[in-house]
Amino acid sequence: MELPKQFYFPNLYCILPLLILVVVFLTGCTSTFVVGSRGTGRFDTVVIDAGHGGFDRGAKPASGIYEKDLALDTARRVTRKLRENGLHVVETRTGDYFVTLDQRVMASNRLSDSIFVSIHYNWDKKKKASGIETFYLNPNSSRLASRIQSEMVATYHGQDRGIKSRKLYVLRNNKRPAVLCELGFISNSAENGKVQSSQTRQKLAENIAKAILAERASFLSQSANDR
Ligand SMILES: [Zn+2]
């Protein structure tokens, strides 16, 4: 027996409200999921990790001071700025000495209210390579990575190499939200010229601190709204 046509093609006016409901529901789910999974959540402590140190000099610059010294100087400036704004900061090193990767990760793993921010400068055998990039691994660190990345790019109009998910030791062994920032290529003489200037490093540090404070503020305002 042949069925009447409306059994094959339900009337559009009947299914339209249902379709709208499904779309609204899915959109709600997606935005809640994205916001909830990408933010760091509450933190009161920032572990600032100056890359390398001691015999581990890090990358060799086109000229000027090595990566370990640039990273330490920048990290100390970030620390100062965060403390001025009332945040608790733990530094993985405060001088020119070697710290293992495990000791660095332990600094944040033992503090349940912390996030981890590692400071590095980049190097490539292709001297033309330039730009800024930020690494993260856990999705809860991606929004912080984006904030820091865009602030760093704006500091000296560096090429935006984007945020990237990488299984780096200090990221994959970290129980806390964690990012690793590469603030520019010191193998590139033009870019190295910029970051060898303490004025540029001061601006980079201020902007990294600004991004961290913005991430914290967005959590605090979100939880105030939830109350
Ligand atoms: Zn490095």
Residue type present at position 182: E
Beta bridge partner(s), residue 185: 122
Q: How many angstroms does the Cα of residue 184 sit away from the middle of ligand 1?
A: 11
Beta strand 178-185 pairing with 132-136: antiparallel
What distance in Å separates the CA atoms of residue 178 and residue 144, rounded to the nearest whole number?
9
Pair 20, 69 in one domain? no
Give residue-wise pLDDT tens across range 208-224. 999 999 999 988 887 77
Cα(25) to ligand 1 centroid in Å equals: 45
Distance from residue 140's CA to the centre of ligand 1 (Å): 23
| Residue range of the domain that includes 14 | 5-37
Span from the CA of 13 to the centroid of ligand 1 (angstroms): 61
Q: Write the single-letter amino acid at 138.
A: N
For 117, the token pair is: 């921010």
Residues 29 and 54 in one domain: no
Q: Around ion ligand 1, which residues have CB less than 5 A away?
A: 51, 58, 120
One-letter amino acid for residue 67 of the chain:
E
How far does residue 187's CA lie from ligand 1's centre (Å)?
A: 12
Q: Which DSSP string do the residues of 145-192 spell out, in sequence order?
A: HHHHHHHHHHHHT--EEEEEE---HHHHT-SS-EEEEEEEETTSHHHH
Shared domain for 31 and 53, answered yes or no, is no
Task: Locate 178 and state its tokens.
Answer: 């964690």
- Separation of 21 CA from ligand 1 center, angstroms? 50
Are 25 and 108 part of one and the same domain? no
Indicate whether 142 and 204 sit together in one domain.
yes
| C-alpha 180 to ligand 1 mean position (Å) | 9
DSSP calls for 28-90:
HHHHHHHHHHHS----SEEEEEE--BTTB--SPPSSSS-HHHHHHHHHHHHHHHHHHTT-EEE
Task: Tell me, yes or no, whether 33 and 53 share the same domain.
Answer: no
pTM above 0.85, yes or no: no
Residues 127 and 213 in one domain: yes
Residues 48, 143, single domain; the answer is: yes
Residue 135: CATH number of its domain: 3.40.630.40
CA of 134 to the centre of ligand 1 (A): 12
Residues 186 and 113 placed together within one structural domain of the fold: yes
For 52, 86, 101, 143, 220, the CA distances from 217, given in Å and listed in that order, are: 30, 12, 29, 13, 5
pLDDT in tens, the chain (227 residues): 455 555 454 555 554 454 444 444 444 333 333 344 479 999 999 999 999 999 999 999 999 999 999 999 999 999 999 999 999 999 999 999 999 999 999 999 999 999 999 999 999 999 999 999 999 999 999 999 999 999 999 999 999 999 999 999 999 999 999 999 999 999 999 999 999 999 999 999 999 999 999 999 988 887 777 76
User: Do both 105 and 24 map to the same domain?
Assistant: no
Do 31 and 47 reside in the same domain of the chain? no
Measured in Å, residue 121 CA sits from the centre of ligand 1 at 6
**Closest by Cα among 115, 164, 172 to 142:** 164
- Please tell me the distance between residue 176's alpha carbon and the centre of ligand 1 in angstroms: 20
Query: Taking Cα atoms as reference points, which of 118, 136, 148 lies closest to residue 47?
Result: 118
